[in-house]
Amino acid sequence: MQRRVVFVVFDGFQLLDLAGPADVFAAATLVARADGYGIEVTASRAGAVTANTGITVAAPTAIGDVTGEIDTLVVVGGLSVAGHLPDPVLTGQIARLSGLARRTASVCNGALLLAEAGLLAGRRATTHWLAAADLARYPQVAVDADRIYQRDGDVWTSAGVTAGIDLALALVADDHGGRLARDVARGLVVYLHRPGGQSQFSAAMRARGTAPDESMRELLAYIDSSPGDDLSVPALARRAGLSERHFARVFAERTGLPPGRYVERSRAEAARRLLETTDHPLDRIARETGIGAPETLFRVFRRLWRVAPGEYRRRFATH
């Protein structure tokens, strides 16, 4: 039998929060067929619901009329979420449907609706980075705004907008394994989902985007392209023509990360790419990326992405 997926929408919702995950579930159904997904859309009232783009979608059933077992409940987000938080009927019905569901998920700031419904109390959750402070106002929620998605038991939350696609791929992988999730990702021409949650943006993207001058951007590009080189603070300071103390201060001010932490993240991401695209043994990957030893590679992966390198490769290798 197909798994029943119910999306909760509302006026002003983010269209991609619905369309992205729905396309993932639909693509998985093409492959899994009888063991795929049946998609339903519901809202406070039955009928047309207008997204933030002005496009309308049909909600055949009012949320109060939805009954029966649900496999996955997905609450979307959007700029209008704040206006819907005071609606006790909507949040009450979300809580009721969650009780009927095997698992509950939110996309983007839809996490605020889950929190308002009391579904995130005592749980770790993520959301769009712009909404992280709003989610943190719920004192019983442990907010981790640096994740693409977060799973805490039977409740899943995701970061902003397109991260809903990563979330849906994670749900498919949880149901059917990594191979089907990879096939779906390739079919939709999106990046493979990362396991266990990871930074919303890579260290390189964050730092390059905030570095205000060309010399710093060039230095960051050098670090990212040369993970096996000597990237110690003394070596980088010499390359930048600064004293070590001044370099460390300037680097942190301009990128938001201490140089050692940036180098570690950059090397870990280089190792992640090699795990995805090569058959190199772990000791070679650790050596070529400047991480050193397989034991260090393991510790870095567990700390940053909460997964062992070998498990990451088994689930997400593309070669």
The arithmetic mean of pLDDT across residues 266-277, rounded, is 88
Q: Element (H or E) spanning 5, and its range?
A: strand 3-8
Q: Which is more confident, 267 or 314?
A: 267
What is the C-alpha to C-alpha distance for residues 116 and 51, in angstroms, rounded to an integer? Answer: 21
Same domain, 236 and 160: no
How many other CB atoms sit within 10 Å of the CB of residue 122?
Answer: 9
- Structural domain boundaries enclosing 262: 203-316
What pLDDT is attached to residue 35?
83
How many other CB atoms sit within 10 Å of the CB of residue 129?
Answer: 14
* CA angle (14, 19, 20) in 5-degree steps: 100
Same domain, 180 and 223: no
What is the C-alpha to C-alpha distance for residues 129 and 131, in angstroms, rounded to an integer? Answer: 5
The arithmetic mean of pLDDT across residues 200-217, rounded, is 56
Q: What's the pTM value of the predicted model, to 2 decimals?
A: 0.66
Same domain, 111 and 246: no
What pLDDT is attached to residue 58?
97
58 exposure class (CB count in 10 Å sphere: 0-12, 13-18, 19+): exposed
The secondary structure of residue 128, as a DSSP letter, is -
291 exposure class (CB count in 10 Å sphere: 0-12, 13-18, 19+): buried
Kindly report, residue by residue over 86-131, the tens digit of the pLDDT: 999 999 999 999 999 999 999 999 999 999 999 999 999 999 988 8
Same domain, 21 and 132: yes
Kindly report, residue by residue over 150-170, the tens digit of the pLDDT: 899 999 999 988 999 999 999
Same domain, 84 and 128: yes
The arithmetic mean of pLDDT across residues 262-274, rounded, is 90
The arithmetic mean of pLDDT across residues 2-20, rounded, is 97
Strands 101-106 and 70-75: parallel
* Catalytic residue (one of 90, 108, 115, 167): 108
What is the C-alpha to C-alpha distance for residues 151 and 170, in angstroms, rounded to an integer? Answer: 10
Q: Is residue 106 part of a domain?
A: yes
What is the C-alpha to C-alpha distance for residues 217 and 198, in angstroms, rounded to an integer? Answer: 23
What pLDDT is attached to residue 199?
43
219 carries an active-site annotation: no
Q: Is the pLDDT of residue 303 over 90?
A: no
What pLDDT is attached to residue 202?
45
Give the CATH number for residue 242: 1.10.10.60
Strands 155-158 and 149-152: antiparallel
Same domain, 118 and 35: yes
- Best CA proximity match to 141, nearest among 118, 161, 163, 165: 118
Query: Interhelix angle for 15-32 vs 163-176, to 10°?
Result: 30
pLDDT-wise least confident of 110-114, 200-204, 293-297: 200-204
pLDDT-wise least confident of 57-66, 139-148, 244-253, 262-271: 139-148
What pLDDT is attached to residue 171?
94
Same domain, 220 and 112: no
What is the C-alpha to C-alpha distance for residues 308 and 303, in angstroms, rounded to an integer? Answer: 10
Q: How far is CA 201 from CA 148, 207, 208, 269, 274, in A?
A: 8, 10, 11, 11, 19
Q: Is residue 26 part of a domain?
A: yes
Q: How much of the chain, in percent, has pLDDT values that exceed 70?
A: 92
One-character DSSP codes across 91-120:
HHHHHHHHHHEEEEEE-TTHHHHHHHTT-S
- Best CA proximity match to 126, nearest among 151, 103, 104, 102: 151
